[in-house]
Structures are given as structure tokens and as C-alpha cells.
Amino acid sequence: MGRLHGDDVMLMPIGRFARACRLSVKSLRNYDESGLLSAAYVDAQSGYRYYRLEQLARADAIRSLRMVGMSLSQIAETLDGDEPDRVLMSHLAALNQERDEINRQAQELQRRINLKEFIMTRDITVKSNPAQIAAAWRTETTHSEIFDHIPLGFGKVMEALNRDDIDPSGAPFTIFHEAPDGDTAGNISMCVPIATAVSLGKSDDGVQVVELQADVTASVIHRGSYENMGESHAAVWTWIQKHGHRVVGSTREIYLNSPDDVAEADILTEILFPIDAEEAD
């Protein structure tokens, strides 16, 4: 049973109050110490806490908000502050962002499960490539800007070719003279093959005609999102090291189809690493 206190207010001992509001005694002590849900009366000799019946509503609100991951400070601001809706909407936005990130991680894990492999293995091909002429736009880029710079560069190249009525003679590709990472900027060229060396019309867009020397490459076909190509790059690097080759030039990515024409899972990119072909297994 409860007990009467002073002005005949019925008080509930902490154990009974905990059962009534479905909170633990430990949590109630914590909320009392933090001021979030102060006990109505604390026995001076035993230190035992007692609560009023009308405090059950606040206790239930605290329990509900804790269940959705709100901190004690957020709950206090919601229950006692001037803008409870703002606090709740802010926390809802954070939960939605967290959900989206978990969904992304789950999709990536499902993709790997579907591939039935956790350490990616790829079919690596050694191929000889003839010399090639291309219209190119070169720029410095960062890890965060690269996915903006690549389409920008191809747009500039195609604009220059269209202006001079020159048709591409092959699939577009990017040369990674220096690949950017999280700390260091890189340098890349967006290239479109053309049949012959020509002089492009005078412009200030930075597009130039370049000639790539013949080379031998270790290459792999990557299927899927551009953002997941790191594992395919790693597979080629591993193969090169395993078979005693050296990388002797800049990596290239050839875009065999367009994400505008196929689903993300069907995007095809050929990744090429120039190697010293005389150094064999």
C-alpha cells in the first residue's frame, strides 16, 4: 500500500511506482538525480523515494520517449521547454537519416550475399592496346568532387566535338593520372576517342587532342554502381602483385554503357592498369 504524507497526499513507494509506470527502480533513481522526474518525497532516514499518483503520466511520457532513442536532455526539453514540437521533429529527422544509412548498409550487405562472396574475386585479363587518339579535358579534383568533375569533363569534350562536327570513335574513358583520396587531391582526364588527330576549333574550354601510347594492361569488367568500383580496383591490384607485374602508367576506366540507358546493377566499366608485360608470373 501507499502512505500518507503531510497534507494527506497518497504517496507510492518507488517499487510500486516502478511497476505501475513500467520503469525500473534504477531508471527512476537516475531520473530523480537528473531532475527529470523528481521523487515527491524522500525519507530522510532511509533515503527511500516516494511518488505521487499524478506523476505516472510524466513517467509514461519519459518511458515512451526513451523507447524512441531520445536522450534525457532532449526529453527534458520536450516536456519542460517552450518548443516541444521542434525537439520532436529534430529527433524524427535524425531517426530518418539513421534509417536511410542502415538501409544503405543492408542493401550493400545483401548485394555481397547475392554475389556469394565477401572477398571479391574477378576474372583479370591481360590485353594489348593500340595507340589511341582522344579529345580530353584535364582537371584537378578531390575525393568529394570527382563524381561531379567526371560528367562535367565529358560534357566539355562532347561540346567541343559537336562544335567541330567530329564523331567519337569509341567508348569514353577517364585517365587517373593521380587518383584522389580522402586527404589528397588528384588529377584526371576525361577522354573521348576520335579517329584521327585533328585541330579542335579555337576555344577556352581546355579541351585538347591527346595521343595515348600503345600499352599492355591488366583489366577487369566491373558490373554495377560506380561507387562500388573500389573492390574491382583492389582485385586488379592483388592480381598484379600476385603475378609479379608492375604498374607502369595511369589507371583508366572505360565506360561501356551509360547509367542513363541501363539499371545501376547493369552498368559496365572496364578498369585497366598498364603493366610491364615482360615481368611475368
What confidence tier does 281 reach under pLDDT thresholds 50, 70, 90?
very low
Please say whether the beta carbons of 72 and 34 come within 8 A: yes
Place of cell 526529453: 75
Residue closest to 40 by CA, chosen among 48, 192, 174, 280: 48
Taking the C-alpha atoms of residue 152 and residue 142, their distance in angstroms, rounded to an integer, is 14
β strands within the chain, DSSP E: 3-5, 9-13, 41-42, 49-52, 125-129, 132-141, 173-178, 186-193, 208-212, 215-223, 251-255, 268-274
pLDDT at 219 over 90: yes
Collapsed DSSP state (helix, strand, coil) of residue 275: strand
Q: What is the pTM of this model?
A: 0.58
| Residues 141-156, mean pLDDT to the nearest whole number | 92
Per-residue pLDDT tens digits for 11-54: 899 999 999 999 999 999 999 999 999 999 998 888 899 999 99
Q: What is the CATH number of domain 3-81?
A: 1.10.1660.10
Per-residue pLDDT tens digits for 162-176: 988 999 999 999 999
Grid cell listed for 58: 510524466
- Topology alike, domains 3-81 and 125-274: no
Q: What is the pLDDT of residue 77?
A: 94
Taking the C-alpha atoms of residue 20 and residue 31, their distance in angstroms, rounded to an integer, is 16
| Residues 147-175, mean pLDDT to the nearest whole number | 93
Taking the C-alpha atoms of residue 6 and residue 86, their distance in angstroms, rounded to an integer, is 39
Q: What is the pLDDT of residue 265?
A: 84
Phi, psi at 136, each rounded to 5°:
-140, 150
What confidence tier does 279 reach under pLDDT thresholds 50, 70, 90?
very low
What confidence tier does 254 reach under pLDDT thresholds 50, 70, 90?
very high
What confidence tier does 10 reach under pLDDT thresholds 50, 70, 90?
confident
Q: What amino acid occupies position 92?
A: L
Taking the C-alpha atoms of residue 94 and residue 10, their distance in angstroms, rounded to an integer, is 41
pLDDT at 67 over 50: yes
Q: What is the pLDDT of residue 58?
A: 93
Report, at the CATH architecture level, how domain 125-274 is classified. Alpha-Beta Barrel (3.20)
Sequence-distant (6+) residues with CB within 8 A of 31 are 23, 37, 62, 72
Grid cell listed for 84: 516541444
Q: What is the pLDDT of residue 117?
A: 45
Residue 225: count of CB within 10 angstroms of its CB: 14
| Residues 117-143, mean pLDDT to the nearest whole number | 82
What confidence tier does 96 reach under pLDDT thresholds 50, 70, 90?
very high
Q: What is the pLDDT of residue 51?
A: 94
Please say whether the beta carbons of 186 and 208 come within 8 A: no
pLDDT at 133 over 90: yes
Please say whether the beta carbons of 242 and 188 come within 8 A: no
Per-residue pLDDT tens digits for 104-128: 888 877 766 665 544 444 689 999 9
Delimit the domains of the chain by residue range.
3-81, 83-118, 125-274
Q: What is the pLDDT of residue 170?
A: 93
In the chain, what percentage of residues exceed pLDDT 90?
64
Q: What is the mean pLDDT of the chain?
A: 87
